[in-house]
Structure 1
Amino acid sequence: MSDNAPGGADGPTRGIELTPEHPPERVADLAALAEDEGFDIAFASSHYFNRDPFVVLSQMADATEEIRLGPGVVNPYETHPVKLAAQTATIDEISGGRGVFGVGAGDRSSLSNLGVERDSPLRRVLETFDIARDLWDGETVTHEGTFIARDAALNLEPPSEAIPVYVGAQGPHMLRMSAKHADGVLVNAAHPKDLEWSAEQVAQGLADRPEERGAFESLAFASVSVAADESDAREAARPPVAFIVGGAAEPVLERHDIDREAASAVSEALEQGDLPEAFGRVTPAMIDAFCIAGTTATVADRFAAALEYVDGIVVGSPLGPDLEDAVVRASDALDRAVEDG
């Protein structure tokens, strides 16, 4: 585990994803609650249709004292990589050195809505955080690769000695690249089958990791829905699972024996913008494959299974039908998973 990583000797890293579909004040309150419940790191998710993650992170910083904070995850297509480095450095500054940089290639369908071509994703992500590290170190950067920067520098110095970089990844090449070059990976998966496969890819990348890069941690960036009632938790899981199914690669669907016609029906409804139809088409098998959903006890068991393959868990959207209750229950489930592990 990296020296700059949020976890430590007390056990697995405990992360949470907070989605700015809610007003910044509410997300900040949830971050404060997560800190009180023992979470190590809070990510603000980034989608063009929600509130700006960096604005929300600034309020999260004001509401908290110790929890690490960062975007989870931004992409270097909607925003220039140099600007992302400056925004992340600003969060590190205002939080007193608690910043992290969650970066990934972005969702292809969302980017296509903006007329953005997601070309050379692996190279662009790697170049993005390489340049960010140089900028955070006070260097003036000239770069011509998947993007251009000429004599670019930041007019601020982040207090962290090194802001940890976490790469959002799902495919084999991005997973391996993350393990070779980043401080951590956010594995976009919730099921042990996917996490086991991902761990094999990470291991390949770690075999080529330069010694000077230091330690590395792998976190499951898992869709989670927890509630007192299992059916309520599973019902709340439908929206995120629909979007996961809509973007799932064929090998992933095969791994879980997801019916192709059922998956196509979800995808087609999403493409047509018919969200109620898409959510209604989500099957129990899809929820089982792509979300950790159920009561505190059920979720604890699934967390324990996931921790066989990763160094920690980021409790991701939707959290549950009642957000505040879900934060507390997720923390309890993590405690139980560690105790039983």
Structure 2
Amino acid sequence: MSTNADTEPTVGIELTPEHPIERIAELAVLAEDEGFDIAFASSHYFNRDPFVALSRMADATDSIRLGPGVVNPYETHPVKLAAQTATIDEFSDGRAVFGIGAGDRSSLANLGIERERPLRRVLETFRVARDLWAGETVSHDGTFAASDASLNLEPASGRIPVYVGAQGPHMLRMSAKHADGVLVNAAHPRDLEWAAGQLEHGLDERSDDRGAFEALAFASVSVAADEAAAREAARPPVAFIVGGAADPVLDRHDIDREAASSVGDALSKGDLTDAFDRVTPAMIDAFCVAGTTAQVADRFDAMLDHVDGIVVGSPLGPELDDAIERASEAIGRARGSRGSRQ
């Protein structure tokens, strides 16, 4: 499916700045010690600033790559996003990656922002960012405007990899054609197999000078010693995933549309307890990798049939440090299982 098919799977982790910045830095250190390759700081207007978190993560770590996962080009001007990411690259001695996506429509609506022409906006954002990182002065008139914009710094790495957060067919195809990687918003092999087919269409149109492309599953994961505890911790993120899931995705997993709508309605009313209670076992199975270390390892193994790596996303598990260690062990088991079959 990808241009990196024969390499060792990339392993990333999502750290959500709903916790104090120093705690996020501690978790980044643990993730680095556990062998994770990339740490993404998620970006939501109601949490702590991801770039502040990334700067502290960079200061606390030595080798793990770091980036926003993912920012959107509506809340912040794309030129400013390019500058912020270049700053992280400089401060981390060239370890930055740029996670960019269209953003959550409902969250943007809370800020009075309409998510117009999302595919073009994302594509134009990272194209302009690449030019700015290359030291160019940029004028742009498209889904956003910039006139004679330039940065007073250059990335230490020389080239910051761009990962596009994607779920729909058009964004997936665009990412494969133009970006360095994709963060597929899915946790089930069935969804990842479908996404791989969409990515193939984009890869068919990818120019040779773009270099290698990496497909990563950006998956909700909840792992613990006790399966029931892991699945219970999965309820909040699964509720939000279900609330925004398109009908074809629900149909792919035989999830009742009315049941999904009831979750979304409760979320829109702000009744989180009711929304979480309405999450069914089938929804958890479809939208989260939830269970014991062994169960999660088996699911990771199946997911890696369709992607080049996995980003272990929120909630991680009921206890964060334990979950990071267990997720690392699960990845190791999945790698070992795959190696034994080759």
- Give the TM-score band, short-chain normalised: over 0.9
* Aligned residue number for residue 172 of structure 2: 175
Residues 164-220 of structure 1: CA deviation (Å, up to 9, x unaligned): 000000000000000000000000000011000000000000000011101100000
CA contact (8 A) 1:136 1:158 kept: yes
User: SS of 1:91's equivalent?
Assistant: helix
Q: Is the 8 A contact 2:188 2:303 kept in 1?
A: yes
The one of 73, 78, 87 aligned to 1:76: 73
How many Å apart are 1:82 and its aligned residue? Answer: 0.1
Preserved contact between residue 58 and residue 91 of structure 1 (Cα < 8 Å): yes
Q: Does 1:276 align with 2:258?
A: no
1:267 pairs with one of 264, 267, 272: 264
Give the 3-state SS of the residue equivalent to 1:232 in structure 2: helix
Cα distance in 2 between the residues matched to 1:18 and 1:2:
26
Q: How does 1:75-224 map to 2 (within 5 A)?
A: 75-224=72-221
SS in structure 2 opposite 1:315? strand
Structure-1 residue corresponding to 2:283: 286
Partner amino acid, structure 2, of 1:119: E
Conserved? CA contact 2:242–2:283, under 8 Å: yes
Shift of 1:260: 1.4
CA contact (8 A) 2:13 2:39 kept: yes
Superposed CA offset, 1:111-137 (max 9, x none): 001010000000000000000000000
CA distance in 1, matches of 2:70, 2:35: 22
User: How far apart, in 2, do the equivalents of 1:129 and 1:251 lie?
Assistant: 29
Alignment-derived partner of residue 298 in structure 1: 295
User: Per the alignment, do residues 2 and 190 of structure 1 end up closer, same or farther by CA in structure 2, a change over 3 Å counting?
Assistant: closer
Whether contact under 8 Å (2:58, 2:91) holds in the other structure is: yes
In structure 1, distance between residues paired with 2:146 and 2:207? 26
Percent identity among equivalent residues? 78
Secondary structure of the residue aligned to 2:25 is helix
How many angstroms does 1:157 deviate by?
1.2
Q: State the partner residue of 2:251.
A: 254
Q: Deviations over 1:285-341 (max 9, x none)?
A: 000000000000000000000000000000000000000000000000000001111
Aligned partner of 2:150: which letter? A
Q: 1:49 aligns with which of 21, 43, 46?
A: 46
Residue of structure 2 aligned with 1:16, choices 2, 13, 17? 13
Q: Matched residue of 2:36: which SS?
A: coil
Distance 1:340 1:160 in 2: 34
Aligned: 1:61 with 2:58: yes
Letter in structure 1 aligned against 2:252: R
CA distance in 2, matches of 1:177, 1:244: 22
- Which 4+ residue blocks in structure 1 deviate beyond 4 angstroms? none
Q: Distance in 2 between matches of 1:272 and 1:338?
A: 43
CA contact (8 A) 1:241 1:282 kept: yes
Q: Is the 8 A contact 1:88 1:101 kept in 2?
A: yes
Secondary structure of 2:160's aligned partner: coil
Give the Cα–Cα distance (whole angstroms) in 1 for the partners of residues 315 and 200 of structure 2: 30
Q: Distance in 2 between matches of 1:96 and 1:260?
A: 48
Can you give the 5+ residue segments of structure 1 that lack an aligned partner in the other structure? Answer: none
CA distance in 1, matches of 2:236, 2:92: 32
Alpha-carbon RMSD:
1.4
C-alpha separation between the residues in 2 aligned to 1:281 and 1:301?
Answer: 27
- 1:274 Cα offset (Å): 0.5
Please, which runs of 5 or more residues in structure 2 have no aligned partner? Answer: none
CA drift of 1:238 comes to: 0.2
What are the Cα deviations for residues 126-175 of structure 1, in whole angstroms up to 9, with x where unaligned?
00000000000000000000000000000111111210000000000000
The structural deviation recorded for 1:259 is 1.1
Q: TM-score, normalised by structure 2?
A: 0.97
CA contact (8 A) 2:238 2:279 kept: yes
Cα distance per residue 1:228-258 (max 9 Å; x no partner): 0000000000000000000000100000010
Give the alignment's TM-score, normalised by structure 1: 0.98
**Aligned-partner residue type, residue 340 of structure 1:** S
Paired with 2:276 and 2:138, the residues of 1 have a C-alpha distance of: 46
Partners in 2 of 1:173 and 1:300 — Cα distance? 30
The one-letter amino acid paired with 2:124 is E
When residues 2 and 257 of structure 1 are mapped into structure 2, their CA distance, relative to the original with a 3 A threshold, is closer
Shift of 1:2: 10
- The residue identity in structure 2 corresponding to 1:154 is L
Cα shift at 1:8: 9.1
Secondary structure of the structure 1 residue equivalent to 2:83: helix
Which residue of the partner structure matches residue 330 of structure 2? 333
